[in-house]
Amino acid sequence: MRMRKTCLDCREAAAEHLQFMPTAQQFICNKCKALSSVQTFEQTRDGVFFCRCEHCGVKNSIVRTGMTPSQPGLLPVTGVIQ
């Protein structure tokens, strides 16, 4: 008799849990004023860091604080990049 695997081992459970966990750093979009989570930090050719809004897709230039996206905090937004 063959048993189906119904529970996950530790590694699979941790990976499944982290897949749905939002990032801890957030910012307030200058265009739509929504609270958005940081997905990735991107950089322009001029060296300005920005994050895209989850809701409207606008590039918001941010001040890099040196923390990674998993560390909690609210990033200051300096403007919108065209």
Give residue limits of the domains in the chain: 23-81
pLDDT digits (tens, 9 = 90+) for 32-64: 999 999 888 899 999 999 999 999 999 999 998
The model's pTM: 0.67
Query: Concatenated DSSP letters for 6-55?
Result: -S--HHHHHHHHHHTPPPSEEEE-TTT--EEE----EE-TTS-EEEE-TT
| Burial tier of 49 (Cβ tally within 10 Å: 0-12, 13-18, 19+) | middle
pLDDT in tens, 9-19: 555 554 444 44
